[in-house]
Amino acid sequence: MSFKKRKSRKLKEILIEKFFFLNGVLAILILLGIFSLLFVKGFPAIRDLGFKGFFGGAVWNPNAYGTPKYGILSLIVSTLMVTVGALVIAVPLGVACAAFLSELAPPRLREILKPAVEILAGIPSVVVGFLGIVLVNPLISKIFGISHGLNALNGAILLAVMSLPTIISLSEDALIAVPHTYREASLALGANRWQTLVRVLIPSGLSGIIASVMLGMGRAIGETMTVLMATGNAPALTFNFLEAIQTMTATIAIELGEVPYNTTHYHALFVIGFVLFVMTFLVNLISDLILQKYQEVER
């Protein structure tokens, strides 16, 4: 091969590598793009209303005559209520199911349960929200004797169902990753399988389990359609799970379609989006750090 030809071939290789590199960097650019666009679009509202206008009040009423109110505390509280409610249901159930899969389930049952979890993960959120209206709604109103069941409890139940697959499959991975020697040592010392699970396996896999819970939490915070359909959408500050609430995601979904571009209300919705982005970012980052630390310990 001539020198010239070899040189051009090398150049081509370098260009190809650069091309793939640019595609890799795209992910960073998109993340930065989302962050900066939300900030730029939300900033005018912060400038006009001040931080206190958003974080100092619990009344969200942008359409009020005279002075519209943009307090997002009630929206944040609503989001946290359904999220915490969902985790209270999904964490024990999910971890127990993961333990069942990794410790107990006969292969036959595993073959049913594993795909079942995958299918559950694949059900579109709008379908889950629809079931909240037609199934969970009458159930709640019957059990608690209230006129309708579109409230925080309904949202929490649905979000629990939606975050279950994440929690189950990642917790199962965490339990499976616990070295066999731990299990054998515990059993050899005379502990039974339940004691081994609760006192050895779960504590050893705890960081992985916590990471899975954080990921499920991130999903619950950002979930839109289910809460939009099932929680009643009344932006008032309440801590009662049987009252209608309105989450941050639902507020954006309801109002963005109605507001004219580039009004204060429009920018205010981007502030909500920004807060949402930061919240999920932090939750994901924490779960990431936990997982990284956990992998280092494993090594």
Partner 1 sequence: MRKNWSERVGFFFLILSGMLVIFILGVILFDIISKGSGSISWEFLSRPPQQGMTEGGIFPAILGTFLVSVITVLFAVPFGMFAAIYLHEYAQPGKMTRLIRLAIRNLSGVPSIVYGLFGVVLFVQMMRFGTSVLSAGLTLGLLTLPWTITACEEALKTVPKSYREGALALGATKWYTIRTNVLPYAIPGMMTGMILGLARAAGETAPILFTGAAFFLPHLPKSLFDQFMALPYHLYIMATQHHAIEKVRPLAYGTALVLLGLVLLLNISAIFVRYRFRRRMKR
Q: Distance of CA 2 to CAs 5, 10, 197, Å?
A: 5, 12, 67
Give Dmax over CA atoms of the chain in angstroms: 87
CA pair distance 168, 223, nearest whole angstrom: 18
Residue 291 host element (H or E):
helix 264-298
Asked if 260 interacts with partner 1 (CB under 8 A), we say no
Concatenated DSSP letters of 23-82? HHHHHHHHHHHHHHHHHHHHHHHHHHHHHHHHHT---EETT-SSS-EE--HHHHHHHHHH
Q: How far is the CB of 181 from partner 1 (least distance, A)?
A: 21
| Secondary structure of residue 190 in the 3-state scheme | coil
Residue 11 or residue 64: which is nearer to partner 1 going by CB?
A: 11
Q: Where are the alpha helices (DSSP H) in 56-151?
A: 73-99, 107-122, 125-131, 137-144
# binding residues, partner 1 (CB under 8 A): 90
The answer to whether 85 contacts partner 1 (rule: CB under 8 A) is no
Residue 24 CB, shortest distance to partner 1, in Å, is 4
Residue 100 structure tokens: 């069942």
Can residue 101 be called a binding residue for partner 1 (CB under 8 A)?
yes
- The single residue among 58, 80, 93, 237 that binds partner 1, judged by CB under 8 A, is 93
Interacting span for partner 1 (CB under 8 A) from 7-15, 62-70, 181-189, 237-245:
7-15
Of the residues 141, 241, 281, 286, which one makes contact with partner 1 according to CB under 8 A: 281
Residues 197-216 that bind partner 1 (CB under 8 A): 197-198, 215
- The residue (of 66 and 260) whose beta carbon lies closer to partner 1 is 260
Query: What string marks each residue from 39 to 78 as x (binds partner 1 by CB under 8 A) or -?
Result: --x-------------------------------------
Residue selected from 21, 64, 111, 146 as contacting partner 1 according to rule CB under 8 A: 21
Q: Which of 2, 4, 20, 188 binds partner 1 (CB under 8 A)?
A: 20
**147 makes contact with partner 1 (CB under 8 A):** no
Query: Footprint of partner 1 on residues 110-129 (CB under 8 A)?
Result: 112-113, 115-120, 122-129
The DSSP bridge partners found for residue 61 are: 69
Least distance in angstroms from the C-beta of 65 to partner 1: 26
Within 8 A by CB and 6+ apart from 225, the residues are 124, 125, 126, 128, 129, 253
Residue 9 phi/psi, 5-degree rounding, is -65, -40
Total length of the chain: 299
Among 63, 64, 148, 195, indicate the residue that binds partner 1 (CB under 8 A). 195
Kindly state the smallest distance separating residue 247's Cβ from partner 1, in Å. 10
Report, in Å, the least distance between residue 67 CB and partner 1.
25
